[in-house]
Chains A and B, each alone.
Chain A
Amino acid sequence: MVTLDAKIPDGPMAEKWDNHKFSIKLVNPANKRKFEVIVVGTGLAGASAAASLAELGYNVKVFTFHDSPRRAHSIAAQGGINAAKNYRNDGDSVHRLFYDTVKGGDYRSREANVHRLAQVSVNIIDQCAAQGVPFAREYGGLLANRSFGGAQVSRTFYARGQTGQQLLLGAYQALASQIAAGKVTLYNRSDVLDIVKKDGEACGIVTRDMLTGEVHGHSAHAVVLATGGYGNVYYLSTNAMASNVTAAWRAHRKGALFANPCYTQIHPTCIPAADEFQSKLTLMSESLRNDGRIWVPQCNDDTRVAADIPEDERYYYLEEKYPSFGNLVPRDVASRNAKTVVDNGKGVGPLKNGVYLDFAAAIGRDGVEAVKERYGNLFDMYERITGEDPYATPMRIYPATHYTMGGLWVDYNLMTTVPGLYAIGEANFSDHGANRLGASALMQGLADGYFVLPYTIGDHLAPKLGDTPVPTDDPVFAESVQAIDDKSRQWTSNKGTHGVEHYHRELGKLVWEHCGMARNEAGLQTALKEIPALREDFRKNVKVLGSPDGINTMLEKVNRVDDFMEFAELKVRDALHRRESCGGHFREESQTPEGEALRDDDNFAYVGAWEHKGDGQDPELHKEHLEFESVALTQRSYK
């Protein structure tokens, strides 16, 4: 019987974290070396956690499927990282960042976690600066900031358009120093395929060595999953090709509840797909909306080039519908409106699958040089990908899956419902509610890894002093190793008809169509029928060539798609049950007369956490009711 205890500390919001740090158990410095901790994933959350735990004295084993920890997809984050430093003297504070994050999340996040996030945000900037992260600076040598994603204050720190890269390199380098010091053992090119439990607690993982195909168990006193989000369930997304839900999903199958899987952030400014071979979508920084004007032709199926469409035949739909925010409405609003105009036949480009983002006005007003100074690298990237010159003709953009707010359910200590199993960064659900604000993903990943988990994990470890980890020849490991090895051999003996890419693409189309930017009862019901059918076809007819005993990229992928096939069903089920619109989840049945998202706080102000009940069984929904003591619930309005 699962009971959800969020373990939110007592006391006023601003004192909860300090109280909690005092009340949780500590591990004596000399005893930390007696503990083993496994960290899966080396993005911002995983690398920062692994390095920090090792610095404290724990023995850490860190796993990545990449060749090097530095390649995790955090590296691709462009815009920046928020922190309540108030260096601009513009009225920012911990409370304001907390408030903005709860409101931006459309009141579906847990207040206590968000407040802690805002509190430690200031330490992150100090930490990263000390590591040598080359943040943008003013001429006087102080740190520069910018306003981001419609925030009313300038609290975003950045390193050109490569903030994620620089923060990740900082964490990776800290990790490298601990590898050199012998406190961290790195297992690269290792695919984590199971979470192992003994006596109800997490005791290790099972991996497949991607070079040799060997399957091994690894044990520890605690396991930390920092494995990112599930955006690739849509096939096309801004995620990296190998980003996957596998470790989180297999943890779910072992008893970790999965929270809010229907929450997905669809980013409004990505380059539209060019053809059916498109393998991923590329994000163009949101900052472009500061100067670009978004429009489509008024007539449907207009075949003229942009320059030939006169001003009075253009539909600047965001400026018209939202006069006060205009092109800077939040991500979910911008995305949905783009979908509406494209669905109505006003899409632009060869496949009619985009809208214009036009810089002609900015170029006319400020000159080409000023626009080049601000966005030069983005314009170059656009031209490289599309072959079109955005100085001369408007960019074409369309929304794409970008980030997933849902994830493994965790308590205030970031522990899942499996004791000893933690989830940090994008892999957990707690801080962004139903919608994430720009420049907050990097903040949360590093908050969890540098400043939260290293404290809270002690509470679980302290009572285990003197316990040796479960040996990897224990039956709980041996059975899992055998099952995974058998499964690999089963896949590679599948003499199917289609490659795995085909099935992933089909799944993506299905989920995007019925559980994408707008969802409705009928569509979700359809998806709920079609996904299991597709999954059955996939399992029977997927063709995996080559041997399991060595490098086999098809085998790696087939495991991931297999988990996406199961996960997609849960995602749709969650979307179906949540008969309200909130943040990134828009239910067409729940909208205001003007067509805006309408929340239903009376019935849905909770976290929906799903329990796996076994194959062929319906999962069970558990609810964590959300209390809002510091931030009053209001309906968002951007008119």
Chain B
Amino acid sequence: MSKMLNLKLKIWRQDGPHAQGAFLDVDAKDIPEDASFLEMLDVVNERLIADDVEPVTFGHDCREGICGSCGVMINGQAHGPEKATATCQLHMRKFNDGDEIVVEPWQAAAFPVLKDLMVDRRAFDRIIEAGGYISAPTGTAQDANSILIPKEVADTAMDAAACIGCGACVAACPNSAAQLFVGAKLAHLNVLPQGQSERWKRTENMVDTMEDFFGSCTNHGECSDACPKEISLDFIAFMNRDYVKAKVKNRSLQSQ
């Protein structure tokens, strides 16, 4: 059997976006160290239910670190202490018996709290809708091998495309900026030959939409540190470069 831990939890509870929140203190006894962080919350919830207390609401789904649904601040760190690990993949053996663990939702103006630890990240979808795609209506594609893409380019696109859209970058940033998320999507599409036609419009539209919701980047690098997929800060530099170019290129042809 797993080793058991006794933990002191402080879990943020909040009824809705405009409600006053407060910490719930929980003595979590006998938590198996093989449990994931979310399974630990499951156990806490089952015990709350037994005591007729409403369970804590948190976002989660695949529990394999790929869907991006989960994510909480654990002792002030987005997704907790383990590098390159989403909350669902963090396991309790990374904690010690007797630890106090503070669990809070992502905190950013663009991510309002819906309930307890669950936040609304629709702003990310708005940014993708602003241009985070390559227009290729079904049926129009040429043979896949007629577009040659050097391996390094495909690999770079994949490095950027690995983003799971969890929002840890925003939560970790002192400015609540979304540059890592946007830079990753722009780099994924803008380095590929298929992405060239819409490159400059895409860049300007996505960045401008981002500015409507999120703060400004001041190069702290907290985003990349917190990222469960270790998305590189280089993609922010890439985005900034493309944005400057886009501002020129998007002038009407006449005025150029």
Name the CB-closest residue of B to A52: B138
Q: Does B149 contact A (CB under 8 A)?
A: yes
Asked whether, in the complex, the Cβ of B165 is within 8 Å of the Cβ of A70, the reply is yes
User: Please, which residues of chain A bring their CB within 8 A of the CB of B69?
Assistant: 66-67, 71
Q: Which residues between 148 and 187 of chain B lie within 8 Å of chain A, taking CB atoms?
A: 148-151, 154-155, 157-158, 161-162, 164-165
Interface size range on B against A: 35 or more
Asked if A68 meets B122 with Cβ closer than 8 Å, knowing A143-B145, A240-B63, the reply is yes
Q: Does B81 contact A (CB under 8 A)?
A: no
Asked whether, in the complex, the Cβ of A173 is within 8 Å of the Cβ of B134, the reply is yes
Q: Does A142 contact B (CB under 8 A)?
A: yes
Return the CB mask of A553-571 against B: 1 if under 8 Å, else 0: 1100000000000000000
Return the CB mask of B130-156 against A: 1 if under 8 Å, else 0: 101111111111111101111100110
Which of the segments B5-13, B48-56, B214-222 contacts the partner chain? B48-56
Name the CB-closest residue of A to B48: A545
Interface core residue of B2, B64, B157, B164 (most chain A CB under 10 Å): B64
Return the CB mask of A127-138 against B: 1 if under 8 Å, else 0: 111111011111
Q: Does A521 contact B (CB under 8 A)?
A: no
Which of the segments B38-46, B97-105, B233-241, B243-251 contacts the partner chain? B38-46
Asked whether, in the complex, the Cβ of B46 is within 8 Å of the Cβ of A501, the reply is yes
Asked if A132 meets B188 with Cβ closer than 8 Å, knowing A274-B2, A451-B138, the reply is yes
Asked whether, in the complex, the Cβ of A279 is within 8 Å of the Cβ of B42, the reply is yes
Q: Does B210 contact A (CB under 8 A)?
A: no
Q: Does B194 contact A (CB under 8 A)?
A: yes
Q: Give the complex CA separation of A331 and B66 in angstroms.
A: 24
Interface size range on A against B: 35 or more
One of A129, A177, A499, A543 near B194 (C-beta < 8 A): A129
Q: Which residues between 188 and 243 of chain B lie within 8 Å of chain A, taking CB atoms?
A: 188-189, 192, 194-195
Which of the segments A157-165, A337-345, A591-599 contacts the partner chain? A157-165
Asked whether, in the complex, the Cβ of B165 is within 8 Å of the Cβ of A68, the reply is yes
Q: Give the complex CA separation of A127 and B135 in angstroms.
A: 11
Q: Which residues between 22 and 74 of chain A lie within 8 Å of chain B, taking CB atoms?
A: 48, 51-52, 55, 66-73
Asked if A132 meets B189 with Cβ closer than 8 Å, knowing A141-B148, A160-B158, A180-B130, the reply is yes
User: Please, which residues of chain A bring their CB within 8 A of the CB of B128?
Assistant: 172-173, 176
User: Please, which residues of chain B bring their CB within 8 A of the CB of A501?
Assistant: 42, 46
Asked whether, in the complex, the Cβ of B195 is within 8 Å of the Cβ of A132, the reply is yes
User: Please, which residues of chain B bring their CB within 8 A of the CB of A211?
Assistant: 114
Asked if A387 meets B138 with Cβ closer than 8 Å, knowing A126-B143, A274-B34, the reply is no
Q: Give the complex CA separation of A182 and B1 in angstroms.
A: 55
A447 to chain B, nearest CB (A): 12
Q: Does B110 contact A (CB under 8 A)?
A: no
Asked whether, in the complex, the Cβ of B133 is within 8 Å of the Cβ of A131, the reply is yes
B195 to chain A, nearest CB (A): 6
User: Please, which residues of chain A bring their CB within 8 A of the CB of B54?
Assistant: 545-546
Q: Give the complex CA separation of A176 and B50 in angstroms.
A: 42
Q: Does B72 contact A (CB under 8 A)?
A: no
Q: Does A454 contact B (CB under 8 A)?
A: yes
Q: Which residues between 492 and 546 of chain A lie within 8 Å of chain B, taking CB atoms?
A: 499, 501-502, 543, 545-546
Q: Give the complex CA separation of A177 and B198 in angstroms.
A: 12
Q: Does B106 contact A (CB under 8 A)?
A: no
User: Please, which residues of chain A bring their CB within 8 A of the CB of B42?
Assistant: 277, 279, 501
Return the CB mask of A429-445 against B: 1 if under 8 Å, else 0: 00000000000000000
Q: Give the complex CA separation of A403 and B86 in angstroms.
A: 24
Interface core residue of A136, A137, A350, A502 (most chain B CB under 10 Å): A137
Name the CB-closest residue of A to B148: A141
A33 to chain B, nearest CB (A): 16
What are 18 A-to-B residue pairs whose CB atoms are below 8 Å? A48-B138, A51-B138, A76-B66, A123-B139, A125-B144, A130-B141, A143-B144, A160-B162, A165-B66, A174-B133, A177-B129, A240-B62, A275-B1, A282-B63, A381-B65, A385-B91, A550-B115, A553-B57
* Residues in chain A within 8 A of chain B (CB atoms): 48, 51-52, 55, 66-73, 75-76, 85, 87, 123, 125-132, 134-143, 159-160, 162, 165-166, 169, 172-174, 176-177, 179-180, 186, 188, 211, 240-242, 274-275, 277-280, 282-283, 350, 381, 384-387, 450-451, 454, 499, 501-502, 543, 545-546, 550-551, 553-554
Closest 5 CB pairs of A and B: A141-B148, A173-B133, A130-B141, A129-B144, A274-B34
